[in-house]
């Protein structure tokens, strides 16, 4: 009981700090650009940590450790794919996207960028972009609420529904108040907290078992295949299809709106290289730490975890190994991971409805103050729908994230890449890529067996690329005059 009170007090201090930041940002939000993109004022450090924290979400402390706990070294393929994807995204997309979005009508959302890049007067790109953002972010945000439910359920013994509701309320309040600046400032703090937890907990778990040799021996005693990245837990060799599916997670980076928004918001393109270096170290140590939480949990936990409970390995390790105060800090890192992504997702979804539907189609003469309040109300509405989707306690965080991640990667990834590197791309090509990529993921997800076991982002990404090229070549070439001002 005393332990729970101490952890609860730590949570309260953490949440109070996050809400204080939201209130400060509230008074610094003057127009819609401030609310949705922070006025393009982020420095390299804040950009890097905010991108990392909003990217990784609760799956880094729950989903990935849970997968590593069940699959052993096989989980390393996901981490490798994500690490490569992170680097390529920062190296080839970040700087160009910042330059292009500023040069083409000072675009503050992805849909506005697409519209300006392809001079789309039909608004069809706005509608398509908004549709898929809303559809996939409902599942992504829901995954964060499921993670929050598991956290509060495990720590405080709350009924699952009340646990999810508590996490949802915390996220809604400070996103509602402060918008993008609140999200980024809190993400920076949350990113540091996640980094600390993932660096320390695996080390403590290894020490508690008497060293890494004992930890690996515990894995071997459970299943020798856990120590072989090329073997599945049933003893067979992992298929090429499985390895491709795991590494294909890296493709998702190019199309995640909440990550791309950080690239658009950095203060200057010249700060991207420094931000990239910070981001890469954060992601590398974070993912290695998450994997080792799963590996060490195999031997450190007295009672094996099964089913959806395997995603609680970090929570149970922290509670069993640490004093209540550091345990509270580490468990607050899970809440930080959840909040840092869910707030970003709510904000991007809000921008999709506000900028892409309400402003152009409902109230063209809406004031900046009105648009900010529409954005805030939208945050609440989307959170309520995500809350309803999160009601099933058997949901796995990693499964929900995988679907949304694949959807965004396939729908927007190829469109973003080619829009930055191929002048011949047209509006029809962009529309075809978004629709084909998004629908392929939805349809492929419903199919099972054989080749259909391939992660849906792979066919979605490939077919989206093909659709863009074919539709662009069949369309009238775009006007190159304005594009000549930008270096492709």
Burial 137-154 (b: 16+ CB within 10 A, else e): bbbbbbbbbbbbbbbbbb
Q: Tell which phi-psi region holds residue 104, choosing left (phi > 0), alpha (psi between -120 and 50) or beta.
A: beta
Of 310, 327, 309, 326, residue with least CA distance to 318 = 327
**Could you read off the pLDDT of 191-249 as tens digits, one per residue?**
788 788 888 899 999 999 999 999 999 999 999 999 999 998 888 889 999 999 999 99
Which pLDDT score, from 0 to 100, does residue 127 have?
A: 87
The residue assigned the tokens 């999709």 is: 352
Which pLDDT score, from 0 to 100, does residue 336 have?
A: 67
Which pLDDT score, from 0 to 100, does residue 433 have?
A: 98
> Which CATH superfamily, name and number, covers 2-401?
Sodium/glucose cotransporter (1.20.1730.10)
Backbone angles phi, psi at 266, to 5 degrees: -65, 145
Which pLDDT score, from 0 to 100, does residue 21 have?
A: 67
Q: Are 299 and 75 in contact (CB under 8 A)?
A: no
Which pLDDT score, from 0 to 100, does residue 436 have?
A: 98
Which pLDDT score, from 0 to 100, does residue 185 have?
A: 65
**Could you read off the pLDDT of 409-459 as tens digits, one per residue?**
999 999 999 999 999 999 999 999 999 999 999 999 998 888 889 999 999
Which pLDDT score, from 0 to 100, does residue 214 have?
A: 92
Which pLDDT score, from 0 to 100, does residue 8 have?
A: 74
Task: Domain ranges for the chain, please list them.
Answer: 2-401
Find the distance separating the first CA and the last CA of the chain, reported in whole Å.
Answer: 61
> What tokens were used for 479?
């006007």
Q: What is the pLDDT along the chain (488 residues), one digit of tens a residue?
A: 556 677 777 777 877 776 676 667 656 655 555 555 555 667 788 778 777 776 776 778 888 999 999 999 999 999 999 999 999 999 999 999 999 988 888 787 788 899 999 999 888 998 899 889 888 888 888 887 887 788 778 777 778 888 778 777 766 765 665 555 556 666 677 778 878 888 889 999 999 999 999 999 999 999 999 999 999 888 888 999 999 999 999 999 999 988 888 888 888 889 999 999 999 999 999 999 999 999 999 988 888 888 878 988 998 898 888 878 888 877 777 776 676 667 667 767 777 777 777 777 777 777 777 777 777 777 778 778 888 888 877 777 778 888 989 999 999 999 999 999 999 999 999 999 999 999 999 999 998 888 889 999 999 999 999 999 999 999 988 877 666 767 76
> What tokens were used for 472?
């662009």
Which pLDDT score, from 0 to 100, does residue 344 have?
A: 66
Residue 224 CA to residue 226 CA, distance in Å, equals 5
CA angle 116, 435, 108 (to 5 degrees): 30
């Amino acid at each position: 009981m005393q332990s729970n009170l101490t952890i609860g007090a730590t949570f309260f201090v953490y949440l109070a700090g996050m809400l204080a930041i939201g209130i400060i940002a509230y008074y610094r939000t003057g127009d819609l650009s401030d609310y949705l993109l922070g006025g393009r004022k982020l420095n390299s450090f804040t950009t890097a940590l905010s991108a990392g924290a909003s990217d990784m979400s609760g799956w880094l402390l729950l989903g990935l450790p849970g997968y590593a706990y069940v699959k052993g070294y096989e989980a390393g393929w996901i981490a490798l794919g994500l690490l490569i994807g992170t680097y390529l995204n920062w190296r080839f997309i970040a700087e160009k996207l910042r330059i292009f979005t500023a040069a083409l009508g000072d675009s503050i959302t992805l849909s506005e960028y697409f519209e300006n890049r392809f001079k789309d007067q039909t608004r069809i790109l706005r509608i398509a972009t908004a549709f898929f953002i809303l559809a996939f972010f409902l599942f992504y945000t829901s995954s964060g609420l499921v993670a929050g439910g598991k956290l509060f359920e495990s720590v405080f013994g709350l009924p699952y529904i009340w646990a999810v509701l508590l996490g949802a309320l915390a996220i809604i309040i400070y996103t509602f108040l402060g918008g993008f600046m609140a999200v980024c400032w809190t993400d920076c703090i949350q990113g540091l907290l996640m980094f600390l937890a993932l660096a320390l907990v695996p080390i403590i778990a290894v020490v508690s078992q008497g060293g890494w040799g004992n930890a690996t021996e515990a894995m071997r005693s459970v299943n020798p295949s856990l120590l072989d990245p090329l073997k599945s837990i049933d003893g067979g060799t992992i298929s090429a299809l499985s390895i491709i599916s795991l590494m294909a997670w890296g493709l998702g980076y190019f199309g995640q709106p909440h990550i791309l928004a950080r690239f658009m918001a950095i203060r200057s393109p010249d700060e991207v290289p420094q931000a990239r270096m910070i981001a890469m170290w954060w992601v590398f140590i974070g993912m290695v730490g998450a994997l080792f939480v799963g590996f060490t949990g195999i031997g450190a936990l007295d009672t094996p975890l099964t089913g959806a409970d395997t995603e609680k390995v970090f929570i149970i390790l922290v509670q069993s190994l640490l004093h209540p105060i550091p345990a509270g800090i580490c468990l607050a890192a899970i809440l930080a991971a959840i909040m840092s992504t869910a707030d970003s997702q709510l904000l991007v979804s809000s921008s999709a409805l506000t900028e892409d539907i309400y402003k152009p189609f409902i109230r063209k003469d809406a004031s900046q103050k009105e648009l900010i309040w529409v954005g805030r109300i939208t945050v609440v509405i989307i959170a309520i729908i995500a809350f309803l989707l999160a009601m099933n306690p058997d949901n796995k965080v990693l499964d929900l994230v995988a679907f949304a991640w694949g959807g965004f990667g396939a729908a927007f990834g190829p469109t973003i890449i080619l829009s930055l590197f191929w002048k011949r791309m047209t509006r029809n090509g962009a529309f075809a890529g978004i629709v084909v990529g998004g629908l392929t993921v939805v349809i492929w997800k419903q199919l099972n067996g054989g080749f259909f076991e391939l992660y849906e982002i792979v066919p979605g990404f490939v077919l989206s690329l093909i659709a863009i090229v074919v539709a662009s070549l069949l369309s009238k070439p775009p006007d190159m005059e304005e594009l000549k001002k930008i270096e492709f």
